[in-house]
Amino acid sequence: ANNRSGSSYDRQHHRQSPPISRWRKRGADAEAIGRSRGGRSTKIHAVVDGCGRPIALRITPGQRGDAPVAVPLLTPLPASRLCAADTAYDSDTLRDFLTARGTQPVIPNNPTRKRMQPFDPIAYKRRNIIERTFCRLKDWRRIATRYDKLMINFEATCYIAALVIWWA
């Protein structure tokens, strides 16, 4: 019954934070819109061939980890000789999957990794191919800024851009 002005006692409910339901927009996770350090974001995971042409795409919310997406994305594809990926994809599960397929993983070790894995820095230089593919994808303003709220529309736009990149 202590009713001081400007203190937490003025609150109708006695808790220090806003209700849980207000922390994120409803349906944002289903539409692959997630929170990251820079705000609301979406990740595009891609597999490209040696010429930089997109073969497979997957859209996830921005806060989702990269490594868990890699195995389902690569499973339906034929095995290749090398698989170059950045440090975010460094996981024992992915490395074991690639090795079982006869693919050499070219993934730099995460600095927090306790057991370092062999890494070929010369082969890793070819990873710029996927970076160039993402630059070509982001040339499409609709992809770079994610105008579409619905994931299915954004994913369709990414596939259309990938088709154009394939034949360009």
Within a domain: residue 141? Answer: yes
Task: State residue 1's pLDDT score.
Answer: 54
Within a domain: residue 168? Answer: no
Instruction: Please indicate whether residue 20 or residue 97 has the higher confidence score (pLDDT).
Output: 97
| CATH at 84 | 3.30.420.10
pLDDT tens string 102-156: 999 999 998 988 899 988 999 999 999 999 999 999 999 999 988 888 889 999 9
Domain count, the chain: 1
Within a domain: residue 1? Answer: no
The two tokens of residue 117 are: 């894995």
Within a domain: residue 70? Answer: yes
Task: State residue 124's pLDDT score.
Answer: 93
Within a domain: residue 3? Answer: no
pLDDT tens string 39-81: 778 889 999 999 999 999 999 987 888 889 999 999 999 999 9
Q: Residue 146: give the domain boundaries.
A: 13-163
Task: State residue 150's pLDDT score.
Answer: 87
Within a domain: residue 89? Answer: yes
Among candidate residues 116, 69, 115, the one with its CA nearest the CA of residue 88: 69
Distance (Å, whole) CA 8 – CA 64 = 35
Within a domain: residue 8? Answer: no
Q: How many CA atoms lie within 13 A of 34 on its CB side?
A: 15
Task: State residue 158's pLDDT score.
Answer: 93
pTM of the full predicted structure?
A: 0.76
